[in-house]
Structure formats: structure tokens, C-alpha cells
Structure 1
Amino acid sequence: MTTPDPDGLLAEQLLRLTRRVHRIQKRHMTQRDLDVTPAQSRLLRTLAHYGSPPRMADLAERLEVVPRAVTTLVDGLEASGKVRRAPDPANRRVTRIELTDEGRATLRELRGARRSAAEEILAPLTEKERQVLGVLLDTLIDGDAVQPC
């Protein structure tokens, strides 16, 4: 008889929840006719956090991907009019990536889709349970949990 592995069970539950979150978010994005992939969505959200248009290398570092992956994402977003490449005024060899008006509109729709997906996912929880979950997730994300000796 095998003994239960509580950490393994938690890890499996987290993976299942992650897959459910992605499925529900994708459904909400599809319902709004948002023609972006999850990776493109992440790039748009990242772009929105910069004060001035970042370099491709900055985006790759922030997204923790190889520069070629950013090039592919930007190519797709540029083709659909959501971003544009712009030369760096101080260095002609550097390309900056800017959100277009279409990109900003898409970002607003993406935020709405994510918000409605979160409401659906969190619906079974009370307000207090949501607060506790938020604290627990912050602890896991930040890695501040006390390590056993």
C-alpha cells in the first residue's frame, strides 16, 4: 500500500487549475472575437507596462523567452495592426516596439475577458476565501514561505 503524497497532490491540483484557467480565459477571448494567442496577449500586457517603447531584447528579458520568440510574436501582432516597429531615435540599429491604437483597444478587451474569466473561476468562493487565496498565491509567487529545517 502506498502512502499519500500531499505535495504531489497539491502540485497536480495546481496544474489542473492552471489548465482550467487557460481554457476559461481562451473561451472568454474567443467570445469577444479577440484574434490573439495567449502569448501575444502576454506581450501586449507587457508592452503596456513600459513607460516608453521597449527594445525587442527588453521584451525577451521581461517575458523570459529567447529573442526569436519575441520576433515571431511581434510579427503576428504587427501584421494585425496591434503593434508597430519604430526606429530608436538615439541608435538607428535598435528597433523599439510600440502599441498602436488597435493594440490598446485589444488590450482593453483582453482585460475585460480576463476579468470575466476570473469572475467565473472564483464564483464558488466567498469574499473571505478569495482574500485567503490571494494571500496564499502571493506567498507562493514570491517564494516567501518559511522553509522547513
Structure 2
Amino acid sequence: MGETELAELMHLVGRRLRHGFVRRLVPLGLNPGQVRALRALAEAGRPLRMVRLADELRIVPRSLTPVVDALEEAGLVRREVDPASRRSTLVVLTPEGRDRYEGARDARRQAGEELFAVLSGEQREQLRELLSLVDEGAEGG
């Protein structure tokens, strides 16, 4: 199998994984961009300034505004004035937001389990090791 075929196969598998994930997000009322924002807040373990959250997501702050608007409307985050800088806005993850993020993490896990169910445990471990090597090589180069 040539490199092009391998790259195409990786792309197709990645797309199937994303589609399985997105399908499981629908009942949660979330899209992948919203999940990324919830994940960044959950992993930070504290409120983040809008500018910092945008940096974490590698998007411009004005692109983040509709994401935060939708999450706030759903009660998953709230905006607060930053006491350290009254011109800055903090985004705070609510308990409901944390719960919904946990649901999204489960959705991602389930999508992976479904996709890789055709492999034995040993094959999944081999694939994990190979993909880790590829990822480490990409980070170094």
C-alpha cells in the first residue's frame, strides 16, 4: 500500500469516527465546536477570559462569540466581568455544562468503541502503538 493510499485510508477512518461522534452529540444539543469550548473550560479548571479561550481553541475572539452565546443560552456557561480587569469577560463553566461535557466525552468514547469493534483487543493495542509513533514523529518534525 502506497503512502497516498494509507493517507486516504486514515482520512476515511477519521471521517467515520467524526461522523459517529457528531451523531451522538445531537441528543446532547451540542456541536463539535461547542464541545471543544466546554473541554477547554473543563480542563482549565477555572473560568477563562474570552481572549484566552479563543487562543486555546485557536480561533479569533469574534468567532468564539456565537459559540459562547449558544452555550450560555443553553445554561452550560455564563459570562462574568473579570474582577482583575473590568474590560475583560470571563467564561464560567456551569455544573450543567460540566455534565454535558461528560456526556460528550462518553459520546466520543462510544464512537471509538463502535468503529474499532471489528478489531481484537490485541489489534487495537497494536494500532494505538502505531498511531502513537506516527503522532510523536509528526510532533518532532
Could you tell me how far apart the structure 1 residues matched to 2:81 and 2:37 are?
A: 19
TM-score (norm 1): 0.85
Are 2:116 and 1:122 aligned?
yes
Q: How many residues align?
A: 141
Could you give the per-residue CA deviations for residues 22-55 of structure 1, whole angstroms, max 9, x where no partner exists?
111122223xx21011111111111100032111
Corresponding residue of 1:38: 32
Against the structure 1 CA distance between its residues 93 and 11, is the aligned structure 2 distance closer, same or farther, given a 3 Å change threshold?
A: same
Of residues 1, 14, 17 in structure 1, which corresponds to 2:10? Answer: 14
Whole-Å Cα distance in 1 between the matches of residues 128 and 134 of structure 2?
10
* TM superposition shift of 1:146: 8.3
Counterparts in 2 of 1:65 and 1:118: CA distance versus 1, 3 Å: same
Contact 1:139 / 1:145 at 8 angstroms: preserved in 2?
A: no
CA distance in 2, matches of 1:28, 1:35: 10
Unaligned residue ranges in structure 2 (runs of 5+): none
CA deviation profile, 1:101-129 (whole Å, cap 9, x unmatched): 22112112112211211110110112222
In 2, Cα distance between equivalents of 1:134 and 1:61:
29
Q: Residues of 2 paired with 1:84 and 1:138: CA distance?
A: 37
Structure 1 residue ranges (4+ consecutive) displaced by more than 4 angstroms after TM superposition: 144-147
Q: Which runs of 5+ in 1 are unaligned?
A: none
2:30, 2:99 → 1: CA distance? 12
What's the offset of the Cα at 1:144?
5.2
In the alignment, the residues of structure 2 paired with residue 81 and residue 145 of structure 1 have an alpha-carbon distance, to the nearest angstrom, of 37
More strand by share: 2
Distance of 1:52 and 1:9 partners within structure 2: 43
Query: Partner letter of residue 82 of structure 1?
Result: L
Question: Is 1:25–2:15 an aligned residue pair?
Answer: no
- Give me the identity figure in percent: 41
Map 1:93-112 onto structure 2 (within 5 A). Answer: 93-112=87-106
Q: TM-score scaled by structure 2?
A: 0.89
